[in-house]
Structure 1
Amino acid sequence: MTAVSPAPPVATGAPAVLDRCRALVRPALGEAVGRLHPWVGEMARYALGWCEAGGASVAAPVAAPGGKGVRQALAVLGAEAAGAPGRDGVPAAVAVELVHTFSLVHDDIMDGDATRRGRPAVWRAYGTGPAVLAGDALFALAVETLAGAPGGAAAVGTLSTALGDLLRGQADDLVFATRPWTGPERVRPGEYRLMAERKTGALLGCAAALGARLGGAPPATADALDRAGRHLGTAFQVIDDVLGLWGDPAVTGKPVHADLRERKKTYPVLAALDSPGPAARRLAGLLDADGDPAEAAALAEAAGGAAAARDEARRHVREAAAALASVPLAGAAGGELRALAAFLTDRAR
């Protein structure tokens, strides 16, 4: 495991925090992936952005927009918030990053998404069956990594709970796509919030809580970090929805308006549909008729969907800050966690 100095320099902003935590976690993550079957390991490295299909190295790792390394950072900062060195949170960071990568590999299969981070998704590059196998291997490796850490066996239950929430959130997301845009069976913003907390927030909360637990934090501190991470994850998902509708594909790595074409219910559109005025009524008619996604995105913005989504994200960031303020946190970790939350919300500005 990579050593860390007893008193690492305090990062001056969220990007610096992400860089510091990535540098701490990356060797251990590479070591874990190296334990996989060579072919499965190649698919895992491809999913992580470390190699091309076929195994050739990339000049620079393929970065995910905005959120690259967030889960790793939360685990490291969770340990530091408990007064432990960041390295104590590294097994948690590795385990959560592997689970997250597993979920992306399987999500792309379920959603039929052909690209991820600007290149073919794992299932398009290697085939559906091999991609399922790679995802399963990543999940198994995550449990093995966490269970093998000091105190990690007890933490596996926390990871399992988060995974159960993640799967429930993914199930809701898929079911929402089959429900109508309007009428009594439509998806409400409150249902979306619960789905987002499960699908995205559970794993971010788990990362922070696992790091804290491995760092020796009392249960109240780990629970507060879990709540903060869940709110942060919900904000993160809402901002991802904004970027999916109005972001630059060259930056996001995914086609614009893909969620609308797949009839996925995202917060900006649901909020726009709930607003009064002619733009919302026109949007409802257009969506019911499976109209042009670009026009639907424009109407959703005109109906206030983008502004409502940004407000929702900021609300969850405030809730995350309140959770962090509810318990004593050691050193600079509390401030770095708050800076990270603000940085992620600002992605859509």
Structure 2
Amino acid sequence: MTTTPIRNLPAVLDTGRTLLEPALRAAISSHLGPEMRRIARYHFGWADADGRPTGNWGGKMIRAILALLSARAAGATAADGLPAAVAVELVHNFSLLHDDIMDGDETRRGRGTAWTVFGVPDAILAGDALLTAAASVLLSAPGAGARSATLALMTATQRMIDGQATDTEFEQREDMTLAECVRMAGDKTGALLGSACALGADLVGGERHLVERLGAFGEHVGLAFQLVDDLLGIWGDPAHTGKQVGADLRVRKKSLPVVAALTSPGADELRALYLSSEPLAESDIRVVAELVERAGARDWARNEAGRQIAAAQECLVSVDIPDDVRGELQEVAGFIVGRRL
């Protein structure tokens, strides 16, 4: 294996974005019609609502950068993995356009979400257009594994959609188990991250064991991220999260720590308060947070996040990849899990 020094995280991210953004812009220009292109360019932050360029970046592009690293893990160049990176970024933003509508979110990256500017029907269609563009980009790629990678990405996308549907269903249920919720989080959050980590290697014809281990690495990272995100949704510092303490409790979100507490022995008081149809007062929110913590769910979520990170690291031990790529994968994974702390 190589002994090239590991670049620091900002350099990894900046280099990846510099390579990615022109390719992403080109894909949107060539695969989307004029109206969908206008909405996509606004959503990515490249233009205002009237189509005037803003000069902004198109987001962090973390999943796409992981796809570039995946290609390098298989011995190819980052440029060889560009179609995989563009495709996974298009799928991610398909999900964001639809999530903003489902959640009623009115702002993203400091300005109005696409549906508030262009209307719900056109924002839905723009998301659909990004998804079909992702398949087109990947299928037409010159890599030896173009078909395999496309099938893998579409499978991960279906899992992500299934996870979102299950999450919505849980809001109407009181009998879900913790195992069901962990599986839902794995689909909703872990599937696309896992695909991103495997997709570049798959596209360039990497060995199946390597592709599988990279995918498992990403899935463990995705679940760890969800656990940390859920912890912050209850106990996070508003100065770092931009949300009130207990934000997820105010909307009675059935996050992983909450479900762990609800399904623990002696949870009658918590169930009566949290599953009631009555609005939660500020004092109730504090009581709920205390009951969740008292049930051991805060510690469980912390420990499980740590276990998932350890499992992710173990996935990289069993494969022969360059030291610098292994280090950069771990750096980006650490950023994903800890970026809101």
Give the TM-score of the pair, scaled to structure 2: 0.86
1:186-225 alignment to 2 at 5 Å?
187-225=176-214
Q: Distance in 2 between matches of 1:345 and 1:137?
A: 30
1:245-324 alignment to 2 at 5 Å?
245-247=234-236, 252=241, 259-274=248-263, 282-289=269-276, 290=278, 291-292=280-281, 294-295=285-286, 296-297=288-289, 299-301=291-293, 304-324=296-316
The alignment status of 1:89 with 2:81, answered yes or no, reads yes
Worse overlay, 291-300 or 226-235: 291-300
Deviation (angstroms), 1:267: 1.4
8 Å contact from structure 1 (residues 92, 146) kept in 2: yes
Q: Would the alpha carbon gap of residues 214 and 238 (structure 1) be closer, same or farther in structure 2, given more than 3 Å must change?
A: same
Gaps of 5+ in 2: none
Partner of 2:319: 327
What is the aligned counterpart of 2:51 among 46, 51, 55? 55
1:41-120 alignment to 2 at 5 Å?
41-58=37-54, 60-61=56-57, 63=59, 68-120=60-112
Partner of 1:16: 11
The secondary structure found in structure 1 opposite 2:138 is: helix
Q: Distance in 1 between matches of 2:253 and 2:73?
A: 37
Partner of 1:3: none
Deviation (angstroms), 1:198: 0.9
Partner of 1:33: 28
The secondary structure found in structure 2 opposite 1:150 is: coil
Deviation (angstroms), 1:18: 2.1
Q: Which amino acid aligns with 1:345?
A: V
Q: Which amino acid aligns with 2:99?
A: D
Q: Would the alpha carbon gap of residues 71 and 338 (structure 1) be closer, same or farther in structure 2, given more than 3 Å must change?
A: same
Deviation (angstroms), 1:256: 6.6
The secondary structure found in structure 2 opposite 1:93 is: helix
Deviation (angstroms), 1:93: 0.7
Q: Distance in 2 between matches of 1:242 and 1:46?
A: 32
What is the aligned counterpart of 2:162 among 165, 168, 180? 168
Q: Would the alpha carbon gap of residues 255 and 22 (structure 1) be closer, same or farther in structure 2, given more than 3 Å must change?
A: farther
Q: Would the alpha carbon gap of residues 242 and 208 (structure 1) be closer, same or farther in structure 2, given more than 3 Å must change?
A: same
8 Å contact from structure 1 (residues 78, 215) kept in 2: no
Partner of 2:171: 177
The alignment status of 1:226 with 2:226, answered yes or no, reads no
Q: Which amino acid aligns with 2:46?
A: W
Deviation (angstroms), 1:173: 0.8
Identity of aligned residues (%): 47
Partner of 1:136: 128
Q: Which amino acid aligns with 1:292?
A: A
Q: Deviations over 1:189-210 (max 9, x none)?
A: 2212111111111111111211
Q: Distance in 1 between matches of 2:102 and 2:86?
A: 24
What is the aligned counterpart of 1:238 among 227, 239, 253? 227
Q: Would the alpha carbon gap of residues 226 and 191 (structure 1) be closer, same or farther in structure 2, given more than 3 Å must change?
A: same
Worse overlay, 210-219 or 297-306: 297-306
Give the TM-score of the pair, scaled to structure 1: 0.85
Q: Would the alpha carbon gap of residues 104 and 288 (structure 1) be closer, same or farther in structure 2, given more than 3 Å must change?
A: same
8 Å contact from structure 1 (residues 205, 225) kept in 2: yes
Q: Would the alpha carbon gap of residues 337 and 174 (structure 1) be closer, same or farther in structure 2, given more than 3 Å must change?
A: same
Deviation (angstroms), 1:77: 0.7
Q: Which amino acid aligns with 2:142?
A: P
Partner of 1:340: 332
Q: Which amino acid aligns with 2:310?
A: R
Q: Distance in 2 between matches of 1:52 and 1:11?
A: 37
Q: Distance in 2 between matches of 1:231 and 1:223?
A: 12
Q: Would the alpha carbon gap of residues 261 and 112 (structure 1) be closer, same or farther in structure 2, given more than 3 Å must change?
A: farther
Q: Which amino acid aligns with 2:91?
A: V
Deviation (angstroms), 1:215: 2.8
Deviation (angstroms), 1:249: 6.2
Worse overlay, 112-121 or 85-94: 112-121
8 Å contact from structure 1 (residues 33, 41) kept in 2: yes
Deviation (angstroms), 1:53: 2.8
The secondary structure found in structure 2 opposite 1:53 is: coil
Q: Deviations over 1:249-284 (max 9, x none)?
A: 67556777554444332112223334567xx65543
Deviation (angstroms), 1:245: 3.3
